[in-house]
Structure 1
């Protein structure tokens, strides 16, 4: 491999420094969002936390919304990874159960990231910043990639004649996602309902679509997901 000259080394060092600063900005942003919520994040507060001028931050991120887009991207990648970890489960019903649990666990373990990903008002500046030149959000693309993993399992259930006659796999996947989001949102917002443990709600949602394996009754469970400490969202 050819040795770099002095100018090339300086260029490479500057590139590495820029990348390190960008990663540091995201790291501190992530910490602030997890601790205080995205509403508490400002470019000035972030600059003070990393001991840089706000102008230095704008060289890496055009706005707070640009940071939101990067954090959303990370969140969607983490959620998809949580789903991919269960794709080796052969039985599609058991795979959906594991993915459903993983979704709820992610939402309750990363409440502020989840809120930023799925509960930020669509008309907000941060949400608008998530759109590309064609008007299609990166979050929508990431969500579609994750949704496809759910839909694949429903396709297998359809092939095994384990879905109701009119249940389209993609519609089932979207319906399950909506149910899972509802479970997480209710828990995060400290709603009086549901009182049923989140894991049981996941299984009951799935039982609507597929026949129990080997004719067994739906499996009840006492598994409980941990809710954020800062709100009264514990399961009973």
Structure 2
């Protein structure tokens, strides 16, 4: 190993130590407690050393956000190829809520501490959605499976995990709108904002409001998703009702026996 390579590895290792210490501080005390001095104390380096790797506390926070978005993307990916877009969005919604509930400090950092962290991801995803809509204007809509694979592929080639995670959601909404299952009165970006606001509201209330929810969280979430996309069995046609059996014909009355004609009286013998 050359000197340059060894120095690069040492630099990367120290960067990871800084991020690891920052992550533990945020998880334990919240984002507000994060400071360059506290991080330096945790890794037993001077604050000046931290500035050789990160320009500011905000830059460290952004690096942690990227990690958080990568986690969110990892929770979305198993659901990205569900064929029906409505069922896919339901699965993505459940994954989003689970991520927020299971990683509260990471969720707060990404979506609740600084609007710039959220805006960067949403802005990138919205631009991709608009570009995709422009490209497909006037073209025939591909079948759902092909479109799903295309959206999934676009997400995987995106260097920004936050935009990639939200692009998976946007792809499903695009399919629903193309199939006439969402109103054409608003573009896909607006639908995405509305759906994200719904999910974010559930997570934010769960994290900040002690009395929410009064019902089990799964019950609230399932009802919300059914309001958005209909019950999961909405597409199943009810079994055809059996045709009623024709009413039995009344039994025919027995035919009346013919009345026997009276026998002719024998003629009297002539004298």
Instruction: Answer whether TM exceeds 0.5 for this pair.
Output: yes
Q: Which runs of 5+ in 1 are unaligned?
A: 218-236
Give 1:169 deviation, angstroms.
Answer: 3.4
Give 1:28 deviation, angstroms.
Answer: 1.2
Question: Alignment partner for residue 174 of structure 1, among 183, 193, 208?
Answer: 193
* Alignment correspondent of 2:57: 64
Q: Does 1:15 align with 2:34?
A: no
* Alignment correspondent of 2:110: 117
Count of residues paired in the alignment:
200
Task: Return closer, same or farther for 1:54/1:66 CA change in 2, 3 Å cut-off.
Answer: same
Task: State the superposition RMSD in angstroms.
Answer: 2.5
Q: How does 1:157-236 map to 2 (within 5 A)?
A: 157-164=176-183, 166=185, 168-215=187-234
Structure-1 separation of matches of 2:7 and 2:43: 18
* Alignment correspondent of 2:39: 46
What do residues 81-137 of structure 1 show as CA deviations (whole Å, max 9, x unaligned)?
Answer: 211221121121221111111111111111111111111144xxxx5xx69xxxx83
Task: Return closer, same or farther for 1:45/1:30 CA change in 2, 3 Å cut-off.
Answer: same
Structure-2 separation of matches of 1:216 and 1:196: 27
Q: Mean Cα displacement is larger for which, 113-122 or 192-201? A: 192-201
Give 1:46 deviation, angstroms.
Answer: 1.0
TM-score (norm 2): 0.66
TM-score (norm 1): 0.75
Structure-2 separation of matches of 1:15 and 1:144: 29
Give 1:168 deviation, angstroms.
Answer: 4.1
Q: Which of structure 1's runs of 4+ aligned residues deviate more than 4 A? A: none
Larger Rg: 2
Task: Return closer, same or farther for 1:139/1:13 CA change in 2, 3 Å cut-off.
Answer: farther
Task: Return closer, same or farther for 1:139/1:163 CA change in 2, 3 Å cut-off.
Answer: closer
Q: How does 1:122-133 map to 2 (within 5 A)?
A: 122=115, 127=116
Structure-1 separation of matches of 2:111 and 2:212: 20
Structure-2 separation of matches of 1:80 and 1:140: 16
Give yes or no for contact 1:176–1:205 (8 Å, CA) kept in 2. Answer: no
Q: Mean Cα displacement is larger for which, 26-35 or 154-163? A: 154-163
Give yes or no for contact 1:172–1:209 (8 Å, CA) kept in 2. Answer: no
Give yes or no for contact 1:83–1:99 (8 Å, CA) kept in 2. Answer: yes
Structure-1 separation of matches of 2:176 and 2:19: 41
Give 1:144 deviation, angstroms.
Answer: 3.8
Q: Mean Cα displacement is larger for which, 102-111 or 170-179? A: 170-179
Give 1:164 deviation, angstroms.
Answer: 4.2
Q: Which runs of 5+ in 2 are unaligned?
A: 125-159, 237-271
